[in-house]
Every structure is written in structure tokens, then in C-alpha cells.
Amino acid sequence: MVERCSIRHLRDLITASSDGVDPQSIEKGLNRIDKDGDGFIDRSELKNEHGKLVCTTLSDSWSFPTLLRFKEALEYLGMASAQDAFCGIRLEENEHFVPGEVMDSLFKAFDSQPKVGGAGGVFLEANFLMQDKVRTNFISSLRSKKFDRVQIYKYLRIFSQPGTLLVVEDDSLGQIKEYFSHERFHRELKKLSPENYDFMMEVAKKLKKIRLPLTPAEKAITDRTFDNLRKQYGDKAEEVREHLDAKRLFSDVIHRSGPEEVYAHTATNPKYKHVEPYIQKTSPKAYALYEKIKARVLDLENYDSNLPPVTLDNG
Ligand SMILES: [Zn+2]
């Protein structure tokens, strides 16, 4: 079963079925539907009665025709919240869902080389669109995707705000949760005092140097590789022997990324849970700060970006 976030689906079905809808229900269920721009959900648009953004779990196995009426969608939301089948991500003022193709345009604007895969989220610590080349690239990329002037202006305005956090709306629910926690982790790191920030980055660099012993299966493979190298290069193969005898703590992708990724991925991606003891062993202080940020960003419903930076003394 494919788990999908319904933000896009709900918008589609609500837009497609707004005839004959009780205005009171609209008012109650949704504050506002975005009329002037397709593909953008403002933070105020999909809220449940507690004022939290509702992101329901719908899957392809649901029959969409049965949900193609607004009231039914609302009922569905109510039911979903009761059954804990939704994620309540409370969006901050400067956090937005965007379509994946808009996110792709943003990344292409930074770098004209085509990217493999796409980014799920980004934290914009500065106004990168201030750079003429980036802005021009961004606009022409959106134009090529048939976004109109109003929509393009809207994205320019939002993406120009330093501190903006963007997450793609059309990915799986589990992924969306991870994107939010991950990008919020970056935001919390950037908030640290300069001393604590630099300290964390130094520890991250040390962590990247850690190598782990191989499992017997991995060892068998690298032994074969080494034998082949030895046949080809003779004694010279010894020079790479140590690289074959151990593996890095992180994947190549994280290894090539900035030091912040070490923490952001470890905190939010279950694949890197095994890294935590290494942080603790390398630096109890870094681990304490890491744990405090992690507790903040994994609490998707209560996260508050206005809290002061974490220190060793606060949470
Ligand atoms: Zn990241």
C-alpha cells in the first residue's frame, strides 16, 4: 500500500467539488482555499478544529469517487483524526508546502546542472533569490512549467524571506514528517550560539572520519576486490588496503555534504540511528545539544521556532 499525504489530493477534491457546499462547513473545516494560485497551500488553509494543519493518510487503495464531496472529506478528516490516521504537523508562519516541481525549480536555479532525484525539503537561511542569476533561473524554470505571473510572484515573495522552510507536498506521509524534522533541525543548528555551532561542526567533522569494521559478508567482497587489485597493481595495491578494510560511518552522500547533515540525518532518518552512540562517545557535550534539538524537532505538533536556541542548560 502506498501511503500518500493527502494535501494535494484534498485540495484537488475540494476544488473539484465546491458546488453546493455548506459555507459554514467550509468556514469551520478550512480557513481558506487558495483561489489565485494552483499548487500552493498556505499555512492557514487546511486546519482542523484545533487549528492544526491536518495531513491525512490516504492511499491509492481508497476509492476517491467516494470522497469527492467536500462534506465527506470533512467527515473523513474527523474520522481520521479520531483514529490517529493523520499527522498533525503544525506549520509555523515561515513554513510552507510546495509542489515538488517548484522545489525542483528552486534547486535548478542554484545550479544549472540537472540534479538526480529531488529535494524533499529545504531551509532557506538567507534570501538566495537576491542573486540575479539564481532569481532569473528560478523564474525561467517556473515559466517553462507553465506557472503564471501571479503564481511566480507568490513563490518569489515567499522564497525571498530568510528563515523560510519548504517541504514538498506530494510525497509520502512518512517522508513529509521526516523532511519537516530534518529541516527544522537545520534551523535549530543555525540558531545555536556561534561557539556551540562551531563546536558541533568540529565534532561532526570528527564523526565523518570514523570507520567501522566490516561484516564477514562485506569482508569477503572487499577481499576479492583486493585480490584483483593486487593482481593488477602488485604491491601498490597495499596503499588502498586500509580503505577496503573498513567502511565509513556515513553514506557517501552525507559524507560529501556539509557537517550539519551528520546531525540532521542521524536525528530523523532511522537508517542512521546507529550513529548516535558515536556522537555520544566522541563528545558528550555535542550529544547533549543534539538530543535537545532532536526532542524539539521530532515533536511535529508542538514545535515552536521562536524558542531560544538550545544550550546545555535549557531544552
Ligand atoms: Zn539537510
Highest mean pLDDT of the ranges 13-17, 83-87, 268-272 = 268-272
In 3D space, the residue among 73, 58, 85, 89 whose CA is nearest the CA of residue 26 turns out to be 73
**Higher model confidence: residue 181 or residue 24?**
181
Q: Which of 88, 113, 129 is the last residue in one of the domains?
A: 88
Query: Would the pLDDT of 225 be above 90?
Result: no
Residues 126 and 197 in one domain: no
Which range of residues forms the domain containing residue 260?
188-210+249-298
Query: From ligand 1's centre to the CA of 216, what distance in Å?
Result: 32
Is 48 in contact with 81 (CB distance < 8 Å)? yes
Tell me if 217 is assigned to some domain: no
> Per residue in 256-272, pLDDT tens?
788 999 999 999 988 88
Region 14-43: what's the mean pLDDT?
35
Longest Cα–Cα distance in the chain: 80
Same domain, 54 and 117: no
Same domain, 9 and 79: yes
Question: Are residues 66 and 8 part of one domain?
Answer: yes
Percent of the chain topping pLDDT 90 = 32
In a shared domain, residues 72 and 102:
no
- Identify whether residues 81 and 100 lie together within a single domain: no
Do 57 and 105 share a domain, yes or no?
no
Distance 281 CA to ligand 1 centre (A): 23
pLDDT of residue 90: 66
| Distance in angstroms (rounded) separating the CA atoms of residues 231 and 115 | 37
Look at residue 179 and tell me if it is in a domain.
no
Mean pLDDT of the chain: 73
Judge if pTM exceeds 0.85.
no
Q: For the residues 51-77, what does the mean pLDDT come to? A: 35
Cα–ligand 1 centroid distance for 181 (angstroms): 10
How many folded domains does the chain comprise?
Answer: 3
Whether residues 31 and 103 share a domain: the answer is no
Alpha carbon of 84 to ligand 1 centroid (Å): 28
- How far apart are the CA of 6 and the centre of ligand 1, in A? 24
CA of 116 to the centre of ligand 1 (A): 16
